Amino acid sequence: MVDQLHRLPGRTHRACVQRAIRIGVSAIQASMWSEAEDDIIRKGYHNGTPIKKLLAQLPGRTYRGVGARALRLGLNGKFNGKTGSQYSWIEDAARRLLDEGTPMSCRDIADAIGASAEGTVHMLRRVHGKSFYIADWRKTSNGHEALWLVGRRADAPKPPPASNAEKCRRSRARRRIRTGGFNPFATLAQQVAQ
């Protein structure tokens, strides 16, 4: 194949090899893979087993090698099954926690059930609108964060972001406090003194 690259200007060797595999023209001999290995790959793709788990059953094979072989076998080139990580326990724990009726943020849910924030975000995105909904919004220093509950209701509307005038007003107030131009406790001190 390398000696024919001059016929395909602008194409790399790797691109040509990948294209040849996709259209079923391969210089790689099929005898390198046994029928048993092909069966493992077919069953794995059919069941949605991640390639990383298939590697345990295919000693001496690489991740890319299994993917390329699956492509040659006519299986989907990209893995469309379930990933190796499951978030069902996070969903169950969050459901039990939120059944009490108190809306909680994603970070609060993760802290309460002992899950990672990333796993909780992933789970909430997956089930949003199906079994969890946004009941309210809480103002934070960076904007607003969603407060979640269990159920299939319409999400609470997200409050609009602060206007530029409001942001400038807050910034000036913070600057006055930092520079000592304003003491928020001075009024309280006067009231206590009287």
Of 78-82, 182-186, 190-194, the poorest mean pLDDT is in 78-82
Per-residue pLDDT of 7-26, as tens digits, reads 888 888 888 878 887 887 76
Domains of the chain by start residue, with CATH: 2-72 (no CATH), 85-187 (1.10.10.10)
pLDDT at 146 over 90: yes
The model's pTM: 0.47
DSSP secondary structure letter of residue 162: P
CA distance 113 to 97: 8
Two tokens, residue 113: 């059930």
DSSP codes joined into one string, 6-21: GGSTT--HHHHHHHHH
Query: Tell me: the pLDDT tens digits for 40-96?
Result: 998 888 877 888 888 889 988 888 888 888 888 888 645 555 544 566 788 888 999
Q: Which of 135, 89, 131 is closest to 114 using CA atoms?
A: 89
Could you tell me where the beta strands, DSSP code E, fall in 6-86?
Answer: none
Please give the structure tokens belonging to residue 41: 């790959």
